[in-house]
Structure formats: C-alpha cells, structure tokens
C-alpha cells in the first residue's frame, strides 16, 4: 500500500515549528510587492504644476517671490468643475520686454491677455521632492504616459502568471522563487537608474514578470507543505502581509523624497530573499512528482525532526498522490454549462477586484489632501478584511460574504462620488475671473466612505482566490485558477487608463465605473453555488450534477459500515469518521 505526502504530514506535523518558520519567511515576500504594486501613488505623483516662463522665473529668484506669486503671473484662470483655478497647461502670452516685469508687478491684471501652450517646460510645487512625473515632464499632453508605468507592470504580471505554472513545475518551487528574486533584484535596481522613460517602461515590465512569479511560487510552496486544513488560513495570512507593506509604503515615501531611491529601497528585500536558499526547502510534493523520492524523504525527515516528531516506516512507501491525474485543457473550463458559468463569473470577479482595488488606491494620488496620511488610513482598513473572511466563511458560507463585499464596495464608490467636496453646492465665475478656494467641507466623510469601499474590495480580492479553487474539479483546478486570475492582470492594465483619463472629464467619474463593476460582480457571485461543507469536486460531473456528488458522499460511510461486521463497529463512533 502506497503512502501519500498528506499521510506523512499526519506524523511529521501539519503545521509545526518547521512550517511556521518557513511560513514566516515567505510572508515577507508579500510586503515589498505592495511597494511594487501601488508605488505609483508616490513614485508617479503629479504635483501642482504650471507653465514655466523664464522671465518670471528669473524675477522670482531676484525678488524673492513665492511659487504662488510666479504661478499667478504665468498661468491664466480656467474653469475646473465649476471652480476657477490656475491652468496647468496654458500660460499668458506676454512680451515682458514691452510690458515690464519688476518686483512690484504682482498686481498686474493679465486676464485679457492671449493664451498659449507651455513653451519652456513646467514649474512644480513639490517641496524639494521628485517623482518620475516631474523628472520626465509627464503632464498635459504627455500625462497618458504615466498610465503606461502601471500598465507595463501589469503586463509583466500577466506574463509571469502564465509562465510561473510551467517554471514551477519544470524547475521546482524553490528554484523558481530564487530565480525570480534574482531577476527582481537586477530589474529593480535598473529601474532606479533608467536613463529615460522608454527604458523605464521596458525594465518595469521585466520587474513585474519577476515579482508576480516569485510571489506565486512562494504561495504554492507554503500551501504544499502544510496540512489540508491549514491551507486556507495560510493563504489568507500570506496575502494579509501585503497589507503590512501597504502601511510601510507611505512611511518610506515620506522620508525618501526621490522616486529613484524609493525604488532602490523597495527592491532591496528581493536581494535579501536570495539568502532563502539556505533557509527554505524545496516542496516534497514537487520532488515526488519528479520521481525524486530520496530528496523528498530527506526534506520530510528534516521537517519532522524540527517539529520534534518521529516518522514511522510508512515513509518508505511514500509516493506521488497525483501521479495518475488527468491532463487538463482550456476546453474543460468552458465545455459544459456550469463550468462555463463558473469560469465567466470568476474571471469577471478577478477583473473587477483588480480594477477597483488598484483604482481606489491610485485615486489617492490625484486627490487634494495629505496623500501620506490618506494612504496610511486607507491601508489600515485592509486588516479587518482578513479577519472578517476567516470569521464568516465557516459560519455563513462563501457566497453571501463574497457578494456582500462586492456590494459594499459598489455602494461606497457611488456614495463617495456624490458627496460634495465642499459645503457650497454652486459656484459662479466672476468677471474678471478670480481664484476660488476649495473649503474642507465634508471631505472627512468622503474619506470614511471610500475606506469602507476599500475594505469591501479587499475582501473580494482575498476571497476570489480560494473560492476559485473550490469551484473546479481536482484535475483542472490549477489551470482554472491560472486562467481566471489572468483577468486580474488584465484589470490592472486597464485600471490606470480608467482612472486617470476619466478623471480628466470628471474627478468622480471613475468611481461610477468602479461601483458599477462591483455591483455586477456581486450579482454574478449570487449565481454561484455555496461550497461551505461541500467536498472538493473531483470530476466535471461533480460540478454539473452536484446532487449526485452529495449523494455519493452521504452514502459512502453507510456503505463502509455495511461491509464491516456489526460487532466491530463501536456504538460511540460517528459513522462518518470510520
């Protein structure tokens, strides 16, 4: 009789000291990923800017004018969502040689002067800080290039998601993780020294490929060395450390004022992860699948020793429990009605989670207020998400919390969009135009509601991972998760364009799109079956005819009991545990 790795884990320890140590080390991988994933909020921050006028700049230095004084003389007032503000992309067309520009010229009325586009670059009010936007002048007609910074990263994520399945199966979980960490260290440092924006985007794509591959390899490795009952908790906590990185990012960005040095700091952990070569083992499950039984036994014995457990002779018959698994194909995901429905709904939820999550975070970079404080506060609300999931999924189920989280995110987006920025509901433009100041109004309420939305979408992002695994049969489960999760990266590619381009039309328009997507996703989730207390499906027939699978599961204990002599079955045993 052969022995599976799960059987050996019963003796070696399902989540002992060895697994806890490895788990703690791999959780660190999620933290720098946060800086890579949403670092654009700080690295690509677009500060207040206006056209540069060399004559005004010279007088500013000579006369000691403030940045606001220089802006007033350079940028005309324009109507922005009903408020009069200085233009960021136009300047007064003035011949200062004939007009005369002296230190007492601050009261000049230039409202009637002609306007022109920026001819000599831009001035930035950024308090000695530098983002790649200010370095490469990615504003006005070139503002769309900022979107590419995030889009190329997600293209790298997409390629990494597809490639890691092959790489991890071909070279192993540990080797793939270490190769990805090496690529991350090299690509990350090259991003920090990129000489131009085109090089930056190419390197950013490579960076995304390595970061996603390494994160997934770590996730697979830790879930393969713990007992079945610990996998879900381990997966949720592994993702929760991403939220720890979210909290650390604004603190780092506050003290590191140059985007290039911030990039170096975000990359350094990946270089340190190379030391994991000496601290984490290869997955014994993978070694067994490669017919490397001796190496698998050696690692398992080392884990048992660290867990202070003793293995029996059953380890001598250890074998791969998936050796005879069926070969999966993409057509298996869409050939039958319910499989097709599951694939569509889960793919849409992966897409929505990425669009709304990234959109809400990146939106913090285009709002008024303290971006560091706002980012920190919004990051804090991610922590309750993991605890709410762990608390509800075994008491209420998967479907209702999953759908509710989507609805909460959608409602929050709609409410946030229609809460006014200020207490005044109508602003009339004076003649001549005068600068309109934005009062604080109910900005705190917008922040509160937006944070609730962030909590909801964080829950959906973390829930879609394991719900995805529970709705596919064993032989196609990995492929199903890989295919559906690629829509997450597609959503990440789309998100910056939805946010930044639609915000130019109306600042709150992206929220309407985000809310609509979340509502549709929540409604679709209600069409999925509940999986709480249901055995994982083994075949497509279990998906298409779940009643049959439940009947077989219910009949199996009774059939076993009927095969045993009645005097061998003790009366105090539940038949389901025999």
Per-residue pLDDT of 242-270, as tens digits, reads 989 999 999 999 999 999 999 999 999 99
**Lowest-confidence pick of 65-79, 175-189, 259-273, 560-574:** 560-574
Whole-number pLDDT of residue 459? 92
Whole-number pLDDT of residue 321? 57
Rounded distance between C-alpha atoms, residue 453 and residue 459, angstroms: 10
**167 alpha-carbon distance from chain centroid:** 22
Per-residue pLDDT of 429-438, as tens digits, reads 445 555 555 4
- Model confidence at 27, in pLDDT bands (50, 70, 90)? very high
Whole-number pLDDT of residue 272? 96
* Res. 368: pLDDT tops 80: no
Whole-number pLDDT of residue 409? 95
Instruction: Find the angle CA(492)-CA(498)-CA(503) to the nearest 5 degrees.
Output: 140
Rounded distance between C-alpha atoms, residue 172 and residue 179, angstroms: 11
Burial class (CB in 10 A: 0-12, 13-18, 19+), 189: middle
Q: How many Cβ atoms sit within 10 Å of the Cβ of residue 166?
A: 10
Higher pLDDT pick, 191 / 68: 191
**Lowest-confidence pick of 329-343, 355-369, 528-542:** 528-542
* Res. 173: pLDDT tops 70: yes
Sign of CA dihedral 151, 153, 156, 160: negative
* Res. 351: pLDDT tops 90: yes
* Res. 556: pLDDT tops 80: no
Longest CA–CA span in the chain (Å) reads 113
* Res. 425: pLDDT tops 60: no
Most confident of 2-6, 7-11, 37-41, 78-82: 37-41
- Model confidence at 511, in pLDDT bands (50, 70, 90)? very high
**403 alpha-carbon distance from chain centroid:** 19
Q: Which residues pair with 130 in a beta bridge?
A: 258
Whole-number pLDDT of residue 432? 53
Q: What is the DSSP letter of 534?
A: P
- Model confidence at 374, in pLDDT bands (50, 70, 90)? confident
Q: Which residues pair with 84 in a beta bridge?
A: 79
Query: Considering only CA atoms, which of 226, 207, 210, 76 is closest in space to residue 152?
Result: 207
Q: How many Cβ atoms sit within 10 Å of the Cβ of residue 219?
A: 21
Q: How many CA atoms lie within 13 A of 283 on its CB side?
A: 27
Rounded distance between C-alpha atoms, residue 93 and residue 113, angstroms: 7
* Res. 145: pLDDT tops 60: yes
3-state secondary structure of 436: coil
- C-alpha distances out from residue 272 to 81, 182, 217, 276, Å: 48, 10, 17, 8
Query: Considering only CA atoms, which of 389, 414, 406, 388 is closest in space to residue 525?
Result: 406
Whole-number pLDDT of residue 95? 72
Per-residue pLDDT of 283-303, as tens digits, reads 888 888 788 888 988 998 999
Burial class (CB in 10 A: 0-12, 13-18, 19+), 213: buried
DSSP string over 269-319: HHHHGGGGGGT-PPPHHHHHHTT-HHHHHHHHHHHHHHTT----GGGGGB-
Rounded distance between C-alpha atoms, residue 333 and residue 346, angstroms: 11
Q: Are the C-beta atoms of 236 and 389 separated by less than 8 Å? A: yes
3-state secondary structure of 145: helix
Tokens of 265: 């700091």
Q: How many Cβ atoms sit within 10 Å of the Cβ of residue 24?
A: 11
Q: Are the C-beta atoms of 263 and 32 separated by less than 8 Å? A: no
**What percent of the chain shows pLDDT beyond 70?**
85
3-state secondary structure of 134: helix
Burial class (CB in 10 A: 0-12, 13-18, 19+), 572: exposed
* Res. 369: pLDDT tops 80: no
Q: What are phi and psi of 14, to 5 degrees?
A: -75, -30
* Res. 18: pLDDT tops 90: yes
Per-residue pLDDT of 64-119, as tens digits, reads 788 888 888 888 888 766 677 888 888 888 776 666 667 766 677 777 778 888 88
Rounded distance between C-alpha atoms, residue 521 and residue 466, angstroms: 16
* Res. 354: pLDDT tops 50: yes
Whole-number pLDDT of residue 571? 36
Rounded distance between C-alpha atoms, residue 76 and residue 212, angstroms: 45
**Lowest-confidence pick of 136-150, 210-224, 404-418, 551-565:** 551-565
Tokens of 398: 């998967």
The whole-chain average pLDDT of the chain stands at 83
Q: pTM for this structure? A: 0.82
Q: What are phi and psi of 368, to 5 degrees?
A: -75, 155
């Amino acid at each position: 009789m052969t022995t599976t790795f799960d059987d050996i884990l019963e003796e070696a320890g399902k989540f002992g000291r060895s697994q806890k140590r490895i788990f703690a080390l791999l959780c660190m991988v999620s933290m720098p990923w946060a800086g890579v994933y949403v670092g654009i909020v700080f690295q690509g921050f677009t500060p207040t800017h206006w056209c540069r006028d060399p004559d005004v700049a010279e007088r500013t230095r000579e006369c000691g004018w403030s940045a606001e004084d220089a802006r007033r003389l350079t940028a005309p007032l324009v109507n922005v969502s009903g408020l009069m503000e200085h233009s960021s992309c136009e300047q007064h067309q003035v011949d200062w040689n004939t007009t005369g520009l002296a230190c007492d010229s601050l009261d000049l009325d230039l409202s009637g002067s002609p306007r022109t586009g920026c001819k000599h670059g831009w001035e930035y009010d950024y308090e000695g800080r530098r983002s790649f936007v200010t370095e490469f002048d990615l504003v006005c007609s070139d503002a769309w290039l900022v979107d590419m910074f995030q889009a190329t990263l997600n293209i790298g994520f997409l390629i990494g998601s597809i490639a890691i399945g092959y790489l991890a199966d071909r070279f192993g979980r540990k080797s793939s993780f270490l190769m990805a960490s090496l690529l991350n260290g090299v690509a990350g440092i090259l991003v920090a020294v990129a000489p131009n924006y085109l090089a930056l985007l190419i390197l950013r794509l490579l960076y995304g490929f390595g970061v996603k591959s390494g994160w997934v390899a770590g996730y697979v490795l830790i879930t393969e060395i713990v007992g079945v009952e610990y996998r879900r908790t381990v997966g949720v906590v592994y993702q929760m450390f991403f939220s720890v990185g979210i909290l650390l990012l604004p603190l780092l960005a506050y003290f590191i004022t140059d985007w290039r040095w911030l990039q170096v700091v975000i990359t350094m952990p990946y270089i340190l992860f190379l030391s994991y070569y000496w601290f984490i083992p290869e997955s014994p499950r993978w070694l067994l699948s490669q017919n490397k039984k001796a190496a698998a036994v050696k690692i398992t014995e080392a884990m048992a020793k660290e867990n202070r457990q003793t293995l029996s002779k059953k380890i001598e018959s250890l074998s791969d429990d998936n050796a005879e698994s069926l070969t999966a194909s993409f057509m298996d995901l869409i050939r039958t009605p319910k499989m097709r429905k599951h694939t569509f709904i889960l793919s849409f939820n992966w897409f929505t989670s990425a669009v709304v999550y990234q959109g809400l975070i990146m939106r913090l970079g285009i709002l008024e207020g303290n971006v560091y404080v706002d980012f920190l506060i919004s990051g804090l609300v991610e922590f309750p998400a993991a605890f709410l999931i762990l608390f509800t999924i075994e008491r209420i189920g998967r479907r209702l919390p999953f759908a509710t989280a989507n609805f909460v995110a959608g409602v929050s987006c709609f409410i946030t969009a229609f809460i006014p920025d200020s207490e005044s509901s109508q602003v009339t433009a004076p003649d001549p135009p005068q600068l309109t100041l934005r009062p604080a109004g109910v900005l705190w309420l917008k922040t509160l509601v937006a944070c609730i939305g962030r909590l909801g979408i964080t829950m959906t992002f973390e829930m879609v991972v394991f719900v995805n695994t529970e709705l596919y049969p064993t032989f196609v489960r990995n492929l199903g998760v890989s295919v559906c999760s690629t829509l997450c990266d597609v959503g990440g590619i789309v998100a910056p364009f939805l946010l930044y381009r639609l915000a130019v039309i109306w600042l709150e328009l992206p929220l309407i799109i985000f809310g609509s997507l979340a509502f549709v996703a929540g409604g679709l989730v209600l069409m999925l079956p509940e999986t709480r207390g249901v055995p994982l499906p083994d075949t497509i027939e279990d998906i298409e005819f779940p009643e049959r699978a439940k009947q077989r599961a219910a009949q199996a204990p009774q059939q076993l009991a009927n095969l045993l002599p009645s005097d061998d079955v003790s009366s105090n045993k539940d038949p389901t545990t025999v």
